[in-house]
């Protein structure tokens, strides 16, 4: 029996797709191994969001080849989609699979052998019209389940290569998703996060057309589901129906991630983002006013071509004035093949580093203030598995705060009530009240 190991780089969606491939190969009779265990075949699921990511992909591939000279190596994911020839030229690579072709992994493993030149199976992602179904009932090594509801993106943001790697937006059928949620809950997962590239666009391509709001309402009916969480959703997708869904359906977690990227309307236009700062501000303030203790995150890119000092100060001001509880700050770097990479008016690397440090510091202050606001209160948490030394557990609150506390073994993937007792820059701590 062939054994298969997986190495995943990049985003949450890549992690989900590695779990899907793992489930597919296991269903076909192969054995998927855990990290650190030797395998006959290694599958490297790559990222290409930045040039730095490409470099990390190649490093990971070379490490696996050096450590496992007799194993066969399959490379898939976004770098495989955008630059398959470069990967095929790497010594030790045996098969290159595009983002749609990765779901053919089980059938291709049967004929996988070492060849003089690697086999390359990469189709035109622009022609993809469906999301392959790969039911997952176990998330290896994870307490939380993630469900891919959508792939691809309709937008053409100036800094982003994702449409070239993922194709146009396409949605999974609601019936398939309902069955997967039911199976995950049956397997013991009380929290499920809906993920994709652009999940706010969910359902626009289906016949009959549906929406993310309708999907959330339908999945919330599954008995035994405790928390339904949304991954990143663009502000422009928050229709009255979606606002109603996230503010009134009890199982929807009080945690949202709304990418900002810049607090300057001028830079947002350069980025080709489909919203402005007034829209963003109004939405986050409305949501925070309706949802108690809303955990609210945002992505920000620092140093996009054309960003002036006043543009950056506008970003600092918007972050300071809005009820954000955490930030993901990214220093801009060129990505070959994007519009931004061809723009003039570059921001110096030292300036980008300085601005990034200031924004991260502000994000840390916002996060600390949010955590301190929960001290002295009881919160339900999902206990995460394998995160801390013996006798110490970590729980994740519905509003996305990690809390460490003393507790017995065997609580992983279960819900418990914890009283938060303190919060500082290291995190939040609490006392177990009930499990």
Tens digits of pLDDT across the chain (435 residues): 689 999 999 988 999 999 999 999 999 999 999 887 889 999 999 999 888 888 899 999 999 999 999 999 999 999 999 999 999 999 999 999 999 999 999 999 988 888 889 999 999 999 999 999 888 888 876 789 999 999 999 999 999 999 999 999 999 999 999 999 999 999 999 999 999 999 999 999 999 999 999 999 999 999 999 999 999 999 999 999 999 999 999 999 999 999 999 999 999 999 999 999 999 999 999 999 999 999 999 999 999 999 999 999 999 999 999 999 999 999 999 888 899 999 999 999 999 999 999 999 999 999 999 999 999 999 999 999 876 667 799 999 999 999 999 999 888 889 999 999 999 999 999 999 988
Q: At 76, list the tokens.
A: 């898939």
- Contact yes or no for 44/329 (Cβ under 8 A): no
What is the spatial distance between Cα 287 and Cα 291, in angstroms, rounded to a whole number? 6
Gap between the terminal Cα atoms of the chain: 41
- CB count within 10 Å of CB 75 equals 29
Helix (H, G, I), strand (E, B) or coil at 395: strand
Rg for the chain (alpha carbons), in Å? 22
Q: Which of 58, 65, 77 is nearest to 17 (CA)?
A: 77
Which pLDDT score, from 0 to 100, does residue 137 have? 83
Q: Which DSSP state fits 389?
A: S
- Contact yes or no for 105/74 (Cβ under 8 A): yes
Which pLDDT score, from 0 to 100, does residue 387 have? 60
Please report, for residues 196, 263, 405, the alpha-carbon distance to residue 227 in angstroms, rounded to integers and kept in the order given.
Answer: 18, 31, 21
- Contact yes or no for 420/403 (Cβ under 8 A): yes
Q: 147-169: buried (b, 16+ CB within 10 Å) or exposed (e) per residue?
A: bbbbbbbebebbbbbbbbbbbbb
CA 330 to chain centre: 15
Q: Could you please report the per-residue DSSP string of 162-182?
A: HHHHH-S-EE--HHHHHHHHH
Largest CA distance in the chain: 65
What is the spatial distance between Cα 13 and Cα 22, in angstroms, rounded to a whole number? 14
Q: Which of 294, 295, 304 is nearest to 334 (CA)?
A: 304
Which pLDDT score, from 0 to 100, does residue 388 have? 63
Which pLDDT score, from 0 to 100, does residue 225 have? 97
Residue 8 pairs with which residues in a beta bridge?
Answer: 45
- Contact yes or no for 278/314 (Cβ under 8 A): no
Sign of CA dihedral 44, 46, 51, 56: negative
Which pLDDT score, from 0 to 100, does residue 1 have? 66
Q: Which DSSP state fits 311?
A: H
Q: At 398, list the tokens.
A: 């519905």
> To 10 degrees, the CA torsion angle through 299, 304, 310, 313?
20
- Contact yes or no for 22/6 (Cβ under 8 A): yes
For the full predicted model, state whether its pTM sits above 0.85: yes
CA angle 200, 204, 210 (to 5 degrees): 90
Q: Which of 203, 205, 341 is nearest to 270 (CA)?
A: 341
Burial (CB count within 10 angstroms: exposed 0-12, middle 13-18, buried 19+), residue 402: middle
Which pLDDT score, from 0 to 100, does residue 49 have? 86
Q: At 57, list the tokens.
A: 């992909």
What is the spatial distance between Cα 220 and Cα 295, in angstroms, rounded to a whole number? 20
Which pLDDT score, from 0 to 100, does residue 255 have? 98
What is the spatial distance between Cα 160 and Cα 197, in angstroms, rounded to a whole number? 12
Please report, for residues 158, 190, 321, the alpha-carbon distance to residue 287 in angstroms, rounded to integers and kept in the order given.
Answer: 28, 24, 15
């Amino acid at each position: 029996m062939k054994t298969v190991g997986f190495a995943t780089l990049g985003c949450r969606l890549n992690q989900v797709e590695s779990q899907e491939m793992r489930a597919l190969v296991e269903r076909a009779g192969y054995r998927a191994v855990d990290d650190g265990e030797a395998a006959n075949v290694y599958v490297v699921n790559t990222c290409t969001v930045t040039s730095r990511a490409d470099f990390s992909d190649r490093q990971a591939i070379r490490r696996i080849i050096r450590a496992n000279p007799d194993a066969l190596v399959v490379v898939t994911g976004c770098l495989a989609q955008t630059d398959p020839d470069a990967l095929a030229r790497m010594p030790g690579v045996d098969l290159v699979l595009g983002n749609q072709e990765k779901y053919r992994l089980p059938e291709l493993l049967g004929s996988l052998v070492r060849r003089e030149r690697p086999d390359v199976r990469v189709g035109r992602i622009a022609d993809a019209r469906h999301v392959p179904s790969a039911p997952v009932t176990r998330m290896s090594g994870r307490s939380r389940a993630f469900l891919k509801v959508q792939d691809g993106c309709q937008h053409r943001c100036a800094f982003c290569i994702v449409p070239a790697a993922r194709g146009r937006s396409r949605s999974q059928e609601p019936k398939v998703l309902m069955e997967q949620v039911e199976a995950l809950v049956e397997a013991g997962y009380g929290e499920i996060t809906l993920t994709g590239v652009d999940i706010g666009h969910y359902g626009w391509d289906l016949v009959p057309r549906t929406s993310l709001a309708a999907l959330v309402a339908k999945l919330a009916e599954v008995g035994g589901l405790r928390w339904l969480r949304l991954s990143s959703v663009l502000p422009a997708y928050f229709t009255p129906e979606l606002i109603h869904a996230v503010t009134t359906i009890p199982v929807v977690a009080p945690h949202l991630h709304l990418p900002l990227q810049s607090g300057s309307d001028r830079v947002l236009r350069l980025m080709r983002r489909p919203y402005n700062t007034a829209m963003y501000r109004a939405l986050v303030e409305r949501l925070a006013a309706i949802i108690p203790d809303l955990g609210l995150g945002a992505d920000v890119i620092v140093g996009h071509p054309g960003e002036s000092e006043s543009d950056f100060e506008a970003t600092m001001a918007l972050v300071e004035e809005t009820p954000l509880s955490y930030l993901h700050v990214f220093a801009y770097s060129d990505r070959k093949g994007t519009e931004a990479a061809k723009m003039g008016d570059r921001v110096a690397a030292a300036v980008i580093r300085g601005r990034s440090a200031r924004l991260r510091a502000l994000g840390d202050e916002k996060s600390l203030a949010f955590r301190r606001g929960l001290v002295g209160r009881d919160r339900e948490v999902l206990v995460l598995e394998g995160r801390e030394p013996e006798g110490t557990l970590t729980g994740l609150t519905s509003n996305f705060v990690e809390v460490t506390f003393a507790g017995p073994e065997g609580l992983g993937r279960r819900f418990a009530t914890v009283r938060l007792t303190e919060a500082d820059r290291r995190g939040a701590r609490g006392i177990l009240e009930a499990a």
